[in-house]
Structure 1
Amino acid sequence: MTTALVALSHSPLIGKNDPAPGVLARVDTAVEGARAFVRDFDPELVVLYAPDHYNGFFYKEMPPFCLATEARAVGDFGSQAGPLSVDATAAKILAQGVLDRGIDLTVSARMIVDHGFVQPLEVLFGGVDRVPVVPIFVNGVATPLGPVSRIRALGTAVGEAAAALDKRVLFLASGGLSHDPPVPILDGAPPRVADALIEGHLPTPEQRARGEERVIQAGRDYAAGSTTMIPLNPTWDNRVLDTFESGSLADVDRWTVEWMSTEGGGSSHEVRTWIAAYASLAATGPYTMKSRFYEPVPEWIAGFSVTTAVPRHQ
């Protein structure tokens, strides 16, 4: 087995509320570098760690993480809808391997995913059906959130289990870094909203359009500085990136839910997808971060980053 990693931020506001041309050009250059990295690696399988934004997972049953043997995208914020090209055989091997290593993994035979999964597949491969994939949901929004150490343990188990596949495996993380978008919160929610968050009542097309427009307007307000959302935190973002670059992944075990929320905002827990992916890469030995890009982009309500990495022995 040979492995590689790409970790990148996502935002539903990309293409809808873009930053200044210079910022956008720097982001595009970094993303194109990641595309070239992926083309050179030519993965036979992508293990994709991504969050959900109450489109596929709800409080009726909210696992800390879940692996899919089949998945379909809802098409929110103009992202591609339809089935992902899930490699069910590889997914089942990974699931059994993770369970054999003592991780209580949830498995979905019909996962629903949103832009958090779709954007990296569109950006790097041109669509959700272009490459065999094993999707793994990592909760980064719904409280209570478990200790970060369990996410690292998940990633390690997946990386060890992937060795049995004898494939070129790309570990792909989607989300982060610091950001505090207007995601619904169950505690204190009005009954109608609470019911939707618990039962998973998907919105009508009209309701979805209104909700997405509210997010777009929130991005405009955020960039203009007229908001109560937690500001982006480049200092925290770069501390997180330093941890991944150094390979000192055990350090994340000391990261608390409260610290991450205070420093990085309510959705900073999407960084858990990065922790899982880097732990998967590190499962077979030390790695080297080949590229690192970071830019705070208020228009996208995101500390935006793209990184690539490979094992040192490859």
Structure 2
Amino acid sequence: MTEIVGLVAISHSPFAQLLPPTGPTAPGARFLADAERVAAAVSELAPDAVIVIGPDHFHANFYDLMPPFVLGVEQATGFGDFGSRSGPLPVAEKLAWSIQERVTAAGFDLALSYALTVDHGIVQSYEMICGTADIPVVPLVVNTTAPPLPTMPRCIQLGRALGNAIRSADFAGRVLLIASGGLSHWLPSADPRDPDLDGERRAGVIHGGRDPHAFDAAREPRIRALGGDPHTQVNIEWDTWFLDRLRHADLASIAALAEDELERVAGRGGNEIRNWLIGAATAATPFVWTSYEPVPEWITGMGIGTTFPVDQPNSA
């Protein structure tokens, strides 16, 4: 039997690397300090494998074929966008295949990849929480970028199936869950049906997989230009409500949000909370510790939630 030792749900942002805090009170400093405390707690938990649930930002999946869920089963390679790690990641293959078999038996036909490219949506959170330990990972990529998105109730159903699959997996070890993404942030549309999407960008999100590095070179300056503005929109009230619901294990209230309502209150980037829902349903236990810092300069409300205690500064 496999033991789930806990869940870390954590925001990511390319600007955590591009615009790091310049001092202990600078934007993002509190978030990064709390992430370090979570990493220390994870080290004490000593997981044998990590399952990272996160998005792709048009570095591996494009609209020539956009799967809702992709499970990496053999090789995973960091794309290296925005200063995140590039090159191969260690993959827990036996655990990945065991999950694939059991989740399929539960009625989920996950796409699978023997050679999965993962970007900062997976890699940044993995590195923040696991450091340089190179703990074997199982990456689960969820389409949270543009329609058609998996519904939030479907994400909860997948999480429950994933939890059952992990606990009965043919893997004698301790497994940590990491859910990466969110919270509120407003991003430009990447929907090919959007009439405001110009021809070049539309072609890119459909055909960019033919040369993803060239597509990224053209796209990354537009993303970089979004950072650094202290007046960027972040919805503190909604982010706080969301974290509170997870402290109460109230997934139903979150799942009841209509898709257009979610984007209204949390932006298109808020769709990444699907990863948190999958993680929370997998762990099947409420958050016992949370952290939150709105960082408009990083265009995101930066949150963390864990299902295990985390030491606070100067605590015994």
Unaligned runs of 5+ in 1: 226-230
- In structure 1, what is the Cα distance between the partners aligned to 2:172 and 2:213? 44
- In structure 2, what is the Cα distance between the partners aligned to 1:139 and 1:291? 27
* Contact 1:297 1:304 survives alignment (8 Å): yes
Against the structure 1 CA distance between its residues 288 and 252, is the aligned structure 2 distance closer, same or farther, given a 3 Å change threshold? closer
* Contact 1:86 1:133 survives alignment (8 Å): yes
2:313 aligned residue:
none
1:228 aligned residue:
none
Q: Does 1:174 align with 2:180?
A: yes
Q: How far 1:203 sits from its partner (Å)?
A: 4.6
Against the structure 1 CA distance between its residues 74 and 235, is the aligned structure 2 distance closer, same or farther, given a 3 Å change threshold? same
Against the structure 1 CA distance between its residues 195 and 25, is the aligned structure 2 distance closer, same or farther, given a 3 Å change threshold? closer
2:254 aligned residue:
252
Runs of 4+ more than 4 Å apart: none
Q: How far 1:209 sits from its partner (Å)?
A: 4.5
* Contact 2:42 2:129 survives alignment (8 Å): yes
Q: How far 1:136 sits from its partner (Å)?
A: 0.2
* Contact 2:59 2:212 survives alignment (8 Å): no
Against the structure 1 CA distance between its residues 141 and 84, is the aligned structure 2 distance closer, same or farther, given a 3 Å change threshold? same
2:49 aligned residue:
45
Q: Deviations over 1:75-120 (max 9, x none)?
A: 1111111112111111010011111111222211211111111101
TM-score (norm 2): 0.88
1:261 aligned residue:
263
1:139 aligned residue:
143
Tell me the SS of whatever aligns to 2:64: coil
* Contact 2:12 2:124 survives alignment (8 Å): yes
1:78 aligned residue:
83
- In structure 1, what is the Cα distance between the partners aligned to 2:138 and 2:99? 9
Return the letter of the residue paired with 1:202. Answer: D
2:200 aligned residue:
192
Match of 2:306 among 285, 308, 311: 308
Q: Deviations over 1:234-281 (max 9, x none)?
A: 111111111111012233331221111010001101111100011100
- In structure 2, what is the Cα distance between the partners aligned to 1:288 and 1:262? 26
Q: How far 1:224 sits from its partner (Å)?
A: 4.4
1:111 aligned residue:
116
Tell me the SS of whatever aligns to 1:267: helix
Against the structure 1 CA distance between its residues 216 and 192, is the aligned structure 2 distance closer, same or farther, given a 3 Å change threshold? closer
**Number of residues of Structure 1 aligned to a counterpart in Structure 2:** 299
- In structure 2, what is the Cα distance between the partners aligned to 1:10 and 1:122? 11
Q: How far 1:171 sits from its partner (Å)?
A: 0.8
Task: Give the 5 Å matches for 1:286-301.
Answer: 287-301=285-299
* Contact 1:50 1:175 survives alignment (8 Å): yes
* Contact 1:196 1:202 survives alignment (8 Å): no
Q: How far 1:19 sits from its partner (Å)?
A: 5.5
* Contact 1:103 1:153 survives alignment (8 Å): no
Return the letter of the residue paired with 1:223. Answer: P
1:163 aligned residue:
167
Return the letter of the residue paired with 1:62. Answer: M
Q: How far 1:37 sits from its partner (Å)?
A: 1.4
- In structure 1, what is the Cα distance between the partners aligned to 2:281 and 2:213? 39
* Contact 1:67 1:134 survives alignment (8 Å): yes
Tell me the SS of whatever aligns to 1:223: coil
1:272 aligned residue:
274
Tell me the SS of whatever aligns to 1:14: helix
Tell me the SS of whatever aligns to 1:293: strand
- Residue range with higher mean Cα deviation, 69-78 or 179-188: 179-188
Of all paired residues, the percent bearing the same amino acid is: 35
1:120 aligned residue:
125
- In structure 1, what is the Cα distance between the partners aligned to 2:153 and 2:286? 22
**In angstroms, what is the RMSD of aligned CA positions?**
2.0
1:223 aligned residue:
230
Q: How far 1:20 sits from its partner (Å)?
A: 6.8
Unaligned runs of 5+ in 2: 310-316
